Structure 1
Amino acid sequence: MSYDLVLKNGRVIDPSQGIDGVMDVAFSGETVAAVGAGLSGRKEHDVSGLVVTPGLIDLHTHVYWGGTSLGIDADAFARASAVSTCVDTGSAGPGNFPGFRKHVIERSTARILVYLHVSFAGIYGFSRNVMLGESHDIRLLAARDAVEVINENRDVIIGVKVRIGRVASGPAGIQPLDIALQVADETGLPLMAHIDEPPPSYEAVVSRLRKGDVLTHCYRPFPNAPVDGKGQVKPEILEARARGVLFDIGHGMGSFSWKTARAMMAQGFLPDTISSDVHALCIEGPAYDQVTTLSKFLALGMPIEDVVAASTVNAAKALQRPELGTFRTGAAGDASILEVREGTFPLEDVRGEVVSASRRLFAAGLVIAGRDIGIEADPLAKAAE
């Protein structure tokens, strides 16, 4: 049988099916058609020596380019980081979501899914010169509007976003979280909570979250780190995981610490999902992109299979989108092609600590909905006669 597109001879890692071996991945139309040996297609790419995974999902991005000061171009980022699905986490709220949908989401090649911000205008005052926490003023928390917009856009809105902390919510404290939880409950969607510096505490925020909710920035540095001064994971964090709260990295400009990461992983507390929190203020460092963020977990000793899972099947489960993050037949026809390079690679955290890594991931190609999106040219690529 001949397929539309076949990626040949790559190391296929698909944690959703326990696959790790050299084989081919075939696509027909917009979906995965087969995984196996000796597959042929109208268009073929030899990806020998490269890693092929289900399309990477970056669970925390800001891609409302032109609509918010922190937005980046989704398609440029997707190609640079081999990400097929960008999950925008609160750039837009109910007041400006229609523009995000019309001018960015519907025009993008990369798939964009959204955690809608409970604040009316989303994250509207976030730049190098202006830093205004959108959750400071509870008059802007638009619960009714958020429910209406979610119900009208459930094909792309997958959750509710709120930002809590001294920077994000200031005098409003933890109140915005309580309002966002009501919106999440009313719509039956999960919530993603941002936590920055106290008050409130990391423990207070995570203690309110429900099964399936996401605590992003989970490897924060002090203050509001998930570990105490002795490096022990705080009991509230363990209790939250036990009841099904999900823990996401959300690296960004201030939320990933090597010190915290070493302490968490030494105690077996790995993240459920790994995300970049890429935006205009961290795309040139320290986060850079998704493959750089994933590479930091290779440096921490996390097996590549687990790193891939944290950006594919685990992220898809958090989104409640089983058609993503897998090479099962009939799934979305997405694939990320990655190069693992050996060498010496400096990787910094948000506090300036640099770790020298011996391996690093680089983007080598991308397939979205069965379409070849910027695969690196290879001499064996051909269109079948």
Structure 2
Amino acid sequence: MAMYDLVLKGGHVVDPAQAIDGPMDVAFRSGKVAAVQRDIDVPAGVETRDVSGHYVTPGLIDMHTHVYWGGTSLGIDAEEYCRTSAVTTAIDTGSTGPGNFAGFRKHVIEKSDVRVLAYLHISHAGIFGFSNRIMVGESEELRLMDPQTAVEVALANRDLIVGIKIRLGKWASGIHGMAPFEHSIQVAEETGLPMMVHIDEPPPSYGEVVERLRPHDVLTHCFRPFPNTPVTPDGKVRPEVLAARQRGVLFDVGHGMGSFSFKVARMMLDNGFYPDTISSDVHALCINGPAFDQVTTLSKFLNLGMSFPEVIRTTTENAARALSRPDLGNLKPGSIGDAAILSVDDGRFNYVDVTGETLAGDKKVNVHGVVLAGKWWHPN
């Protein structure tokens, strides 16, 4: 009989990557998934957790976070956040650039139990002036663009760096429009990595940005409110957005403090345009609202009409594909042994977007446990 380190008994497994949606036990051994089957025989002495009445999903991947705590003013604590939101892989999107990535690697990433991967900013010090008192767009100062060093740092840290980040728009790049993008696309091409591109208010326009994105590049803040919104005034998806998706561009929610609107999300979903990845863009200025965390962001989409398996797909299988990490985001035997234990609770829940619109919801995703590298990982 196989010896396991941990077995989750009696849960309802939702693993979109394997088209599993039903009662299954999940066993872990040596940091990996060992078995997913209807009723696993558990030898004496193996840690067993009764998770009946709960969903078991692959560990959640939050595609957009800022977790360089202490090194940047917008950073939050990765482990505390991930434990409470069942996130086992946090993707830091551009908190650091080539000038300070080494500190992020040494002081946060290597010390964390939770997996932290990163999109490297091409601005020398990443997002350095982002707080409730100081707001300096790092892409506004073109002298800070550091493409040569960005290439060197990205190639030297390929185990952790999954792509290149650039922030464009009135707040991030001022009057420069697409100019910072020209630096980032060169770095992306030179390193063979995808880009994640932030968009806020014009300039540049939403259309100008998506027209330049390549297959596998990610547009984050994809369901932004007006201005720079993906829908036309008559409620249709802009043609350049549809063309970008057809080309293989990926659309990420990146909720944050200013980048997600219920009104826009409803129109996009009504048009059958679902996000590829749902992410929180959690940072110091939105962790106490309106974004809060990943499970709250997922709950919003559940209440907007997406099904639970569809929502889970965006934060597991789709996110792993965007990262080119097939060992993540699924519970296939041999994959990394990360899992989330969740419930979808009924009740009355008020949700808020970045425009102040509230949504009276009747469902909420709650966290009941986390498995990280095959071990139970939770303060309770």
TM-score range, shorter chain: over 0.9
Match of 1:248 in 2: 252
- 2:290 aligns with one of 283, 286, 292: 286
Match of 2:28 in 1: 27
CA deviation vs aligned residue, 1:237-269 (integer Å, no higher than 9, x gap):
000001000000000000110000010000000
TM-score by length of 1: 0.97
**Are 1:89 and 2:93 counterparts?**
yes
CA contact (8 A) 2:250 2:276 kept: yes
What residue ranges of structure 1 are gaps of 5+ in the alignment?
377-385
Alpha-carbon shift at residue 171 of structure 1 (Å): 2.3
Whole-Å separation in 2 of the counterparts to 1:235 and 1:270: 15
Whole-Å separation in 2 of the counterparts to 1:248 and 1:22: 30
**Are 1:326 and 2:330 counterparts?**
yes
Q: What is the percent sequence identity of the aligned residues? A: 60
Match of 1:128 in 2: 132
Runs of 4+ in 1 over 2 A off after TM superposition: none
Match of 1:45 in 2: 49
CA deviation vs aligned residue, 1:126-167 (integer Å, no higher than 9, x gap):
000000000001111100000000111000001000000000
Whole-Å separation in 1 of the counterparts to 2:222 and 2:175: 23
Match of 2:74 in 1: 70
**Are 1:167 and 2:171 counterparts?**
yes
Whole-Å separation in 2 of the counterparts to 1:37 and 1:263: 40
- Structure 2 residue identity aligned to 1:54: P
SS in 1 for 2:171: coil
Match of 2:347 in 1: 343
Whole-Å separation in 1 of the counterparts to 2:54 and 2:81: 20
Whole-Å separation in 1 of the counterparts to 2:19 and 2:204: 40
- Structure 2 residue identity aligned to 1:35: V
- 1:142 aligns with one of 128, 133, 146: 146
Alpha-carbon shift at residue 177 of structure 1 (Å): 1.0
- 2:186 aligns with one of 168, 182, 193: 182
- 2:267 aligns with one of 256, 263, 270: 263
CA contact (8 A) 2:3 2:29 kept: no
Match of 1:307 in 2: 311
Whole-Å separation in 1 of the counterparts to 2:338 and 2:346: 26
The number of residue pairs the alignment matches comes to 376
SS in 1 for 2:53: coil
Whole-Å separation in 2 of the counterparts to 1:338 and 1:255: 26
SS in 1 for 2:253: coil
TM-score by length of 2: 0.98
Match of 2:278 in 1: 274
Whole-Å separation in 1 of the counterparts to 2:102 and 2:130: 20
- 2:369 aligns with one of 350, 365, 370: 365
- 1:236 aligns with one of 235, 240, 258: 240
Pairwise CA RMSD: 0.8
CA contact (8 A) 1:15 1:305 kept: yes
Match of 2:107 in 1: 103
